[in-house]
Structure 1
Amino acid sequence: MYYLAENIELRRQEFADRLSLQTGRTADSCLNEVSLSIQRLFYWAAYADKYGGTVQETTLYGATVKIHEPVGVIGILCPDEYPLLGFVSLLAPAIVRANCVVIVPSEIHPLSALDLYQVFETSDIPGGVVNILTGSKDHLAKYLVEHQDIQSVWYFGSEAGSKYVEYVSAENVKRTWVNYGLSRKWEDPEQGEGEEFLYQVTQVKNIWIPMGDIFAN
């Protein structure tokens, strides 16, 4: 993950120029988005060996071990705003905790995410970990949420789309994370990173380890 962030940093201006060309925004605004995306990758890279489990004592003789495991395969449908920063903010925590992703970038400006494919190949990201699909968000959401080999779906789009994802996911007991059409300030660290993301990319397994009086003393 650090290597990925460093490789994007080497091409910071190139990514900013292409982002400006695609979105029509100012050069300074696009350069700031690329810089924030790099910072976010460095932030999540630090979590590769953190957010471990805990050992909790019990009222009986024994202990409970809590382990944070990967969810598995996560389907991610990114927001249209901040096509690069939104993509990175959702992708990074998922893969840093050993999940695989099928990710749909911004429907309006998908090329910002596709430009990262070349960087993935030169940054030692294993093949099959990141799979990018482009197209209609709501159309692709239908197939992701119905797929039995996808354990979780994140949807950042309309309120109607969010309700659909939650409704269909109930059939196969799939985890969901939706925004109900509410916008998120991806440039704000309080909304673009943190504990909420870690909760969504892991599942908790609790193991009770009993012990007798001899071991307890």
Structure 2
Amino acid sequence: MSFRTPEEAVALANNTRYGLAASVWSENISRALDVAPRLQCGVVWINATNLFDAAVGFGGYRESGFGREGGREGIYEYLKPRAWSKLPMRGDAKSLPAQPDSLVDTNNVSALDRTAKLFIGGKQARPDSGYSRLVMSPAGEIVGEVGEGNRKDIRNAVAAARGMTKWSSASAHNRAQVLYYLAENLSARADEFEKQLMVCAGSTRQDAKREVDASIARFFTYAAWADKYDGAVHAPPLHGVALAMHEPLGVIGVVCPDEAPLLGFVSLIAPALAVGNRVVAVPSETCPLMATDFYQVADTSDVPGGALNIVTGDTKSLTQTLAQHDDVDALWCFHGAALSALAERESIGNLKRTFVDQGRVFDWHDTASEGLPFLRQAVQVKNIWVPYGD
């Protein structure tokens, strides 16, 4: 199959549902190394083919499957942090308070009737259905309203995320600066978020302050990791090297837990954004106002439109839509065993990678709920074999 430019060659190579391996042949090694990262496959051989070694991971992208055999990344497929196995199981899901037919007077409802909108493509967007849902405090009082997102809203959010490729191609340093900026702007509005947690989640003042401070610290953590979580150079038994490159998965759907509604939200979106993924987030169903308040922080923190999208609504239906969407590359679900099973079952359509809690309750304040285990779930490893010499 002929082509005229390297860009045309890359487009032809990527025009498939699969992505196991590819060979790039060129007299110009610089051009070959420029093309290799743009190929959507797990292994690339430069001026060679069918090179294998147990120290170098092998595996594909997209419908060629996920995960790796061999190499350090292959070992991690069989491991999980020891602390995770000791996490308590989530109890039976508590039913949400019934949605009243109309607003009633409470001390927590502002005189200004403001319904928090969805956040899609860097803009506040009204839900396609035109409906809203009431947000109830643990005491059963109405504390606000958010948009009732549906399948169309998820499709719009995924389309916006899919189009924001410049976030994935931005330098790691640039992404780190944006995350630092998010942390700084969240810190500037810490009092506001603390009050919202006290009203919406029933937190004490001390617990609310602890959660906001932990959320700010988590952004700083992943900002620091953004330009330091890089790949490796393997030395297989040949005259050459194999470059293990960390690449973002693409579009990640994130279903957030009800516990620690701000910290849980931040703990899941931050590692995904840090390594260049675009995120479609479904916030806590019981306390979504933390996420809708947060998009005002994102608006003023140089987050490109489409890198972070937030859709509120019924968690189960939105999770199912994300799982069935073929333009979603991975799905993270931390909302109980039943929803974890649904996410894994419905994601089979395009073999999207899943990361779920299996019904366990994470302590989002614990250091085991941040760092390398989450970063590893946010990337895929591409091994580029580069022989050299005569």
TM-score (norm 1): 0.95
CA shift digits 1:39-84 (9 cap, x unpaired): 0000000112111111111112211000000110000000110000
CA distance in 2, matches of 1:100, 1:26: 33
Residue 196 (structure 1) aligns with: 373
Residue 154 (structure 1) aligns with: 332
Residue 109 (structure 1) aligns with: 287
Pick one of 347, 353, 356 that aligns with 1:178. 356
| Secondary structure of 1:176's aligned partner | strand
Residue 135 of structure 1: how far off its partner (Å): 1.2
| Secondary structure of 1:209's aligned partner | strand
Whichever residue aligns with residue 206 of structure 1, its letter is N
CA shift digits 1:159-194 (9 cap, x unpaired): 12211211221231100001111101100011x201
Residue 59 (structure 1) aligns with: 237
Residue 210 of structure 1: how far off its partner (Å): 1.2
Whichever residue aligns with residue 188 of structure 2, its letter is L
Question: After the TM superposition, which residues 36-115 of structure 1 pair with which residues of structure 2 at under 5 Å, given as runs?
Answer: 36-115=214-293
Whichever residue aligns with residue 376 of structure 2, its letter is Y
CA shift digits 1:139-164 (9 cap, x unpaired): 11110001111100001112122112
TM-score (norm 2): 0.53
Residue 347 (structure 2) aligns with: 169
Residue 123 of structure 1: how far off its partner (Å): 0.6
The count of aligned residue pairs is: 212
Identity across matched positions, percent: 50
2:302 aligned with 1:124, yes or no?
A: yes
Q: Which runs of 5+ in 1 are unaligned?
A: none
CA distance in 2, matches of 1:88, 1:157: 15
Deviates more, 1:134-143 or 1:32-41: 134-143
Residue 108 of structure 1: how far off its partner (Å): 0.3
CA distance in 2, matches of 1:21, 1:60: 63
Q: Would you say the 8 A contact 2:252–2:330 is kept in 1?
A: yes
Residue 102 (structure 2) aligns with: none
Residue 10 of structure 1: how far off its partner (Å): 1.1
| Secondary structure of 1:154's aligned partner | strand
Whichever residue aligns with residue 209 of structure 1, its letter is V
| Secondary structure of 2:363's aligned partner | coil
Whichever residue aligns with residue 295 of structure 2, its letter is Y
Residue 92 of structure 1: how far off its partner (Å): 0.6
Residue 118 (structure 2) aligns with: none
CA distance in 2, matches of 1:36, 1:160: 28
The root-mean-square deviation of aligned C-alpha atoms, in Å, is 1.0
CA distance in 2, matches of 1:173, 1:23: 36
| Secondary structure of 2:226's aligned partner | coil
Whichever residue aligns with residue 226 of structure 2, its letter is A
2:216 aligned with 1:3, yes or no?
A: no
Whichever residue aligns with residue 122 of structure 1, its letter is T
Residue 211 of structure 1: how far off its partner (Å): 2.1
Runs of 4+ in 1 over 3 A off after TM superposition: none
CA distance in 1, matches of 2:354, 2:227: 25
Q: Would you say the 8 A contact 2:337–2:357 is kept in 1?
A: yes
Residue 118 of structure 1: how far off its partner (Å): 0.9
- Bigger proportion of residues as helix: 1
